[in-house]
Structure 1
Amino acid sequence: MHKDNMLTKRRVVFCFSILLFYIIGGLKLDSVLKYTSNYRTSEISGSSTKILKNTLDCSTANLTQICSASSQLITTSKTEDKDDSESPVCPEYFRWIHENLKPWKEKGIERENVEVIENRAFFRLLVLNGRVYWKKYRDVPRSQSRDLYTIWGILQLLRRYPGKLPDLDIMFNCGDRPVITSGPYYGPKARIPPALFHYCGDDRSFDIVFPDWSFWGWPEINVKPWDSLVEDLREGNERTNWNERKPYAYWKGNPSMSKSRLELLKCNVTDKQEWNARLFVQDWLQEIKQGFKGSNLANQCTHRYKIYIEGIAWSVSMKYILACDSVTMLVNPKNYDFITRALIPMRHYWPVKDDEDKCRSIKNGVDWGNHHTQEAKAIGKAASKFILEDLKMDYVYDYMFHLLNEYGNLLKYKPTVPEGATEICLETLACPVNGLKKEYLLESMVKEASDKKPCTMPPPFDPSALQAILKEKEDSIHEVETWKKKYWDNQSQ
């Protein structure tokens, strides 16, 4: 009885506080009731947890006041972990967080390391006492919403783990290519590089690699949020057994994005040559007219082999290709996203050298797989298991959490709201948009603060262990090249 009375009192105080806040802000009572109906408080194991419904209050034009209430009620309200057990260890690719942040490990990150790169950033995002502020520097192309969905993803992280991240000050680049080249920041006289977040990096850059926008949806090409798409991909895999799939290497995309892709088209089947490849140019105008129904990712798991090849830089398509149970023929990438470096050749993919000999590499790989079906199926299964299990949305959020937590702990200054920045929240992002763009935002909204801790961050790589991983990759690629030479030597006899 005493516990019930206490809970009732808490609810009364909670509702009265919201009402008072909105009266002071000058909002109508019906807006207050609509807004507060989006939340309910439940008593679980003696701690109060916010259960967040998948609705927004877009009824008022004064979204600034909406943000203030949203931040106070959700983002800064800490939840207690009700699971006292040790959380499972994160997947191995989390170790690369330590490598990404290594340039700042000794001396930390000063304000100038952040602000010096604003001329290359698309936006700056700050988290201060749980409230989020944003300053825009440049637009993404009109046909894209990378910045919107990236920021949305960070807001969902704050809803999932409210009050558990330190203050943050982030510069973010939404372009294709890595930005921070290693030249002046490498060697005995190296300077500390600027801190810039980005979707990909390479061996010559210091960009801090962050999950791409498409995990929360890519409405421009009708790609669902990752949670929903994963289920579609599972169903697509089950629809066609590997043995029943077409015994060729499949690729569909825009060849004009890189020289390497244009070269790949030479590998298509002709009256005179069979390279075991089936390549298709994406007709964007036709796809737009049809709502990208012909590009349904779950319907593309129909070939035993699928080709991944970079465009301008790294491509979002990698995770979709790897998830298909097919053998991924990975044309040696120059760039990596936050999971790529964990992939091992001949365990997760068949390596294809990015040179003028791609066609011979593809034909060799397909013939090998068709004559070693068990080994080929094992490679395809290992890749799809990695994507569908180790890259499930829970782990994407945990990766973001650990990366931002480690980054925030490296800041040597107290972030402050810069001139020209505005406070943002769910309503300011989602209310102004319509159609599929809004639908995917709502679908990907975190509905409940987690009552579990994030997975346990694995330790940094031991230098010898890291070298062993790199050597294993190098040896596997060399072995495949040796097989290719032997294969074509036998063909010419």
Structure 2
Amino acid sequence: MKTWISFSTTILIIFVTSSFILEIDLTKITSTTILKTIQVFNNKQQPQFPLNCNITTCLSNYPTTFQPNDYSSSSSSCPHYFKWIHQDLKPWEKTGITREMVEKGQNLSHFRLVIVNGKLYIEKFEKSFQTRDIFTIWGILQLLRLYPGKIPDLELMFQCGDKTVVVKSNFQGPEVSPPPIFHYCGKENYYDIVFPDWTFWGWAELNIRPWETTLHNIQEGNKNVNWEDRIPYAYWKGNPSVCSIRKELVKCNASDELDWNARIFDIHWKEEKSKSFNDTKLENQCNYRYKIYAEGATWSVSEKYIIACDSMTMFIEPRYYDFFTRSMLPLQHYWPISIKNMCEDIKFAVDWGNTHLDSAQTIGEGGTKYVTENLKMKFVYDYMFHLLSTYAKLMRFEPKVPEGAVEVCAESVACSLRGVRKHFLTESMVVSPSDEPPCTMPSPYTNESLHQFLQEKEDLIRQVKTRAMNKKL
């Protein structure tokens, strides 16, 4: 009897161990991204559907319905910034969204996006800068693959440029409704609906890999230098010619006469491209205690990469916002810098941080924690899911595929590309449906709770401006 029990126990250990090893090995083989990892349950491998460029049509055997595992049927809570979905769609809360409203946005958009019965159709109006449209469309295709059959039929307009386009002052009065246009950033006096930008799936022109891979590389780079051993200055590297704020920032660079504690480096992208971008790798730019975020023509996609460095991030008074930063708080996730007193503020922040190392490190790591916990690709897709689903509920018309639209799928988008573009798309591809449902949306802001949150933010910024911060945060 003892022999039989011992034998059974040995078999059980071997079974569990082999299942664990299988999962680990498959994880290494696929990618760092959780969405691409092969999950092993009950010794069975989840079916995968990688890119197949040997066929001339769209893949026909991909699952069309979403079936999460029974034990994963309860969803996690969405991050706080999902609350802003309700705010962004509030202009259409009472009126709903009519076809006339959508059509009014055509001359301000790069393409029309239609989803009918789980299939994606695109009607292009204008060529976007670089491959922003391709990578954005690719991201939406991955959402459809992650949650097949879950995305409702819808029709929308998308703007791929830098500038916000739906000016609030042009749509005043109860009888005038703004066109609902999706865009990468928003601004206080604009109605643009904020959506994740294309770089989450890669920025081929600058050789920046998809977000999860890049974040992993930055986190590994963070380990190279202990925080207290990092260079004790504020670092910024980028193209200063795109806006006046960055041109002013260059004036804060150290000179023989004056040192504002800033180290500013100009990037010439043509020159960097000729060197295979070896000097602009994001994971090699985390060796300063402080990093500066300065907007470009509008917002800048560099924001998430800068925050991920563990360095105390300095925000130079942003005028624009993307989908995830509005819930970040000064002195918890970043240090605010005034545009008017930019150089003085940078010098003060560095001096303060160097005399309060623990507090400065806490702010830096707080920003990084915000990004690593709240900006996982699952949450990026869940944000897209909830935004599109809420938008679809407001629609007062039936989506239809227009004559000029073309059905797109993973094969039609990626297989015709070459080099790094195709590589990044393949790397960021969702190869099987999710095992768990989307996260649960937080309740909307009430007028009072929104006012309290914004007031808290203002009070913290005022503390910095008046130099009234607590010595120990």
Q: TM-score range by the shorter chain?
A: 0.7 to 0.9
Q: Secondary structure at the match of 1:293?
A: coil
Check 1:75–1:315 CA distance in 2 against 1; reply closer, same or farther (3 A cut): farther
Partner of 1:14: none
**Which position in structure 1 is the counterpart of 2:23?**
none
Moved more, 346-355 or 189-198: 189-198
1:365 is aligned to: 349
For normalisation by structure 2, the TM-score amounts to 0.88
Q: Pick from 78, 90, 93: which aligns with 1:90? A: 78
Name the residue aligned to 2:53: 57
> Does 1:138 pair with 2:134?
no
Aligned match of 1:113: 101
Q: TM-score, normalised by structure 1?
A: 0.84
Q: 1:44 offset after TM fit, Å?
A: 7.8
In 1: Cα distance, 2:337 partner to 2:188 partner: 19
Separation (CA, whole Å) in 1 of partners of 2:166 and 2:46: 40
1:135-177 deviation line (CA, Å, top 9, x unaligned): 0000023xx1100000000000000000011101021000001
| Whole-angstrom CA distance in 2 between matches of 1:301 and 1:208 | 32
What is the CA-CA distance between 1:443 and the residue it aligns to?
0.5
Q: CA deviation at 1:81?
A: 4.7
Alignment-derived partner of residue 99 in structure 1: 87
Aligned counterparts of 1:136 and 1:253: Cα–Cα separation in 2: 31
Whether the 8 Å contact between 1:364 and 1:484 is mirrored in structure 2 is no
1:291-337 Cα shifts (integer Å, max 9, x gaps) = 11111001100100000011100000000000100011100010000
Tell me how far apart the structure 2 counterparts of residues 84 and 481 of structure 1 sit (CA, whole Å).
47
Contact 1:246 1:304 (8 Å CA) reproduced: yes
Aligned to 2:18: none
The aligned residue for residue 149 of structure 1 is 135
Matched AA of 2:82: F
Task: Give how far 1:80 is off.
Answer: 4.5
CA distance in 2, matches of 1:153, 1:114: 22
266-275 vs 460-469, which moves further: 460-469
Q: Please, what is the CA RMSD of the aligned residues?
A: 1.9
Matches within 5 A, 1:422-461: 422-461=406-445
Verify the 8 A CA contact 1:76 1:129 in the aligned structure 2: no
- Counterpart amino acid of residue 194 in structure 1: P
**Structure 1 outlier segments of 4+, above 2 Å:** 42-45, 48-55, 57-60, 72-86
- Structure 1's unaligned 5+ residue stretches are 1-41, 61-65, 486-493
Aligned to 2:204: 219
Aligned residue number for residue 224 of structure 2: 239
1:295 to 276, 280, 283: 280
Instruction: Give unpaired runs (5+ residues) of structure 2.
Output: 1-38
Alignment of 1:122 with 2:110, yes or no, is yes
CA contact (8 A) 2:114 2:122 kept: yes
**Residues 428-465 of structure 1 deviation map (CA, whole Å, 9 limit, x = unaligned):** 10011100000000010001101211110001012211
Q: Distance in 2 between matches of 1:454 and 1:438?
A: 28
Amino acid at match of 1:51: P
- Deviations 1:27-64 (CA, angstroms, capped at 9, x unpaired): xxxxxxxxxxxxxxx9989xx9972232322453xxxx
Write the distance in 1 (CA, Å) between the matches of 2:365 and 2:150: 36
Amino acid of the structure 1 residue aligned with 2:178: P
Q: 2 CA distance for matches of 1:252 and 1:230? A: 18
